[in-house]
């Protein structure tokens, strides 16, 4: 399908960028860029006059200064953000989704992100196999297969229709239209968000991109889960609130993810997920089930290292401070699900039946699970992702003291502060030595900020972001109020 669809859109929009992308696809795949059943239509779909005026060959780098590096598609509905550090071959590529449910081919993936540098590093571990097979219905379309969040509720009922032979409570988001959709049109779909069939999943609350500096997105994905406003089983919900914030720092080529999860019961296990192609390296792992290369392992280490081809990824857990890291994977565990929603007893199932292992899938053998060391109703996850090519970046991130009302992290020279809620109006920060810039998010839009820095006052952006530079190299206490 790929190149034919690109050609049809390029012909309709007269977009030189899409025409150039069609040419690039042909360079990569030759005749195979058109499915053999559609090659008869090449001269009908491919309009060579659209490509006139485009620059010469050069892969995706031809789009430098032509297309943006960051954009959000389907705002208010699908909410898909795509980010590239550049259009060059060594670029970091990040995707993020916080949208609503729309089609029975869709997945339950609000909050999911993927990360690529040199090779796929943080992936969607789904494969496309038998449509009504156990792998698709009980794993691949589920949140457990994504880089999102699980809240396990023991005994949660997930039985959307007759194709689901067993009750599989993966701990993820509501499964509502997995094999057939009766959406009648745009109005019908809109009217069933927040009522009726409840197609709501997530929404983007704040989005800001400052070129060559940072990209920030704040999302609320509470609606994707059984929550206090709507529960598919009528049991009052398992979460009160699930929010995810993501920041990309251009100059450091680093992704920082902050999540705040409030469950309705402290005993519901929370898990922060990241799927990988290969087995991550984590220190001091102890097998909980199976073997070191095929099973479930656990460590109190705060770091994991991921390699795939030329790509590397350092994963640093900052919060929860008492968290453990679990690795789940290997041939007998790559599609593993705690089907009863209770991981106090590791008696889950590996849903391999119906899976597909075609070479065009990023088949993930392993996943990282970060979960709190103690049960709580409210948990904050703060994780730093540092990709690179060939070399593994050194661990440089550490928690930064921000007092009550915020969670903060210091990287090699940036301090990032996430405000916990709108009731906070003052912060006292201890800025470590070497941190020359502060980035605060979650402020009221255009807030006027006074500070203890000599003679300095600031104003937040219209998206509630404040950037303070020129802090010097020594540790200092900073007080901010608004």
Q: Give 325-360 pLDDT, tens digit per residue.
A: 999 999 999 999 999 999 999 999 999 999 998 888
Q: Which residues contact 134 (CB under 8 A, 6 or more apart)?
A: 165, 351, 353, 354
Query: What was the pLDDT predicted at 279?
Result: 98
Question: For the purposes of burial, counting CB atoms within 10 Å of the CB of 180, is it exposed (0-12), middle (13-18) or buried (19 or more)?
Answer: exposed
pLDDT, tens digit (0-9, with 9 covering 90-100), for 278-330: 999 999 999 999 999 999 999 999 999 999 999 999 999 999 999 999 999 99
Give DSSP secondary structure letters for 384-399.
EEEEEESSPPPP--EE
Burial 201-240 (b: 16+ CB within 10 A, else e): bbbbebbbbeeeebbbbbbbbbbbbbbeebbbeeeebbbb
Q: Cis link prior to 26 (omega < 30° from 0)?
A: no
CB 408 within 8 A of CB 437: no
pLDDT digits (tens, 9 = 90+) for 205-262: 999 999 999 999 999 999 999 999 999 999 999 999 999 999 999 999 999 999 999 9
Most confident of 180-189, 267-276, 389-398: 267-276
Asked whether residue 403 carries a pLDDT value surpassing 70, the answer given is: yes
Return d(Cα 443, Cα 462) in angstroms, integer.
9
Q: Is 14 left (phi over 0), alpha (psi -120 to 50) or beta?
A: left
Using the predicted structure, report yes or no on whether residue 401 has a pLDDT greater than 80.
yes
Mean pLDDT, residues 90-97 taken together: 97
Task: Report the percent of the chain where pLDDT is more than 70.
Answer: 99
Q: Nearest-CA neighbor of 390 among 289, 292, 323, 312?
A: 312
Strand ranges in 198-279 using DSSP code E only, listed in sequence order: 203-210, 214-220, 239-249, 254-263, 269-276
The answer for residues whose C-beta is within 8 angstroms of residue 273's C-beta and 6 or more apart is 143, 144, 146, 147, 148, 149, 150, 367, 368, 369
Q: How many CA atoms lie within 13 Å of 116's alpha carbon, on the beta-carbon side?
A: 19
User: For the whole model, what pTM was predicted?
Assistant: 0.94
């Amino acid at each position: 399908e790929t190149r034919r669809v690109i050609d049809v859109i390029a012909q309709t929009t007269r977009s030189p960028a899409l025409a150039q992308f069609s040419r690039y696809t042909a360079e990569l795949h030759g005749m195979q860029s058109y499915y053999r059943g559609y090659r008869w239509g090449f001269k009908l779909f491919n309009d060579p006059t659209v490509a006139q005026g485009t620059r010469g060959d050069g892969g995706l780098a031809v789009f430098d200064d032509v297309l943006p590096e960051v954009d959000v598609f389907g705002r208010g509905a699908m909410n898909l953000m795509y980010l590239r550090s550049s259009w060059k071959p060594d670029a970091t590529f990040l995707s993020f989704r916080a949208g609503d449910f729309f089609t029975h081919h869709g997945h339950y993936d609000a909050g999911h992100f993927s990360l690529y540098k040199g090779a796929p590093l943080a992936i969607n571990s789904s494969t496309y196999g038998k449509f009504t097979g156990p792998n698709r219905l009980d794993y691949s379309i589920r949140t457990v297969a994504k880089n999102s969040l699980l809240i396990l509720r023991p005994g949660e009922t997930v039985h959307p229709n007759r194709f689901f032979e067993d009750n599989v409570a993966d701990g993820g988001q509501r499964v509502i239209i997995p094999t057939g959709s009766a959406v009648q049109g745009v109005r019908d779909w809109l009217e069933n968000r927040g009522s009726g069939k409840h197609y709501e999943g997530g929404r983007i609350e704040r989005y800001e991109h400052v070129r060559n500096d940072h990209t920030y997105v704040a999302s609320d994905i509470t609606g994707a889960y059984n929550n206090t406003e709507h529960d598919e089983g009528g049991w009052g919900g398992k979460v009160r609130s699930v929010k995810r914030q993501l920041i990309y720092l251009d100059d450091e080529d680093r992704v920082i993810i902050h999540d705040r999860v409030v469950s309705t019961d402290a005993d519901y296990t929370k898990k922060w997920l990241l799927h990988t192609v290969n087995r991550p390296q984590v220190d001091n792992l102890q097998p909980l089930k199976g073997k070191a290369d095929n099973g479930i392992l656990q460590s109190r280490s705060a770091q994991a290292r991921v390699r795939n081809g030329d790509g590397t990824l350092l994963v640093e857990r900052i919060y929860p401070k008492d968290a453990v890291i679990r690795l789940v994977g290997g041939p007998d565990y790559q599609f593993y699900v705690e089907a009863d929603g209770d991981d106090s007893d590791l008696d889950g199932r590996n849903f391999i039946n119906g899976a597909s292992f075609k070479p065009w899938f990023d088949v993930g053998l392993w996943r990282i699970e970060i979960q709190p060391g103690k049960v709580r109703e409210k948990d904050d996850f703060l994780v730093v992702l540092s990709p690179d090519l060939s070399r593994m970046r050194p661990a440089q991130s550490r928690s930064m003291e921000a007092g009550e009302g915020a969670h903060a992290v210091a990287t090699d020279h940036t301090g990032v502060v996430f405000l916990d809620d709108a009731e906070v109006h003052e912060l006292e920060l201890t800025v470590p030595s070497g941190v020359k810039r502060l980035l605060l998010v979650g402020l009221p839009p255009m807030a006027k900020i006074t500070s203890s820095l000599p003679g300095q006052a600031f104003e937040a952006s219209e998206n509630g972001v404040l950037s303070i530079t020129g802090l010097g190299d020594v540790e200092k206490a900073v007080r901010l109020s608004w």
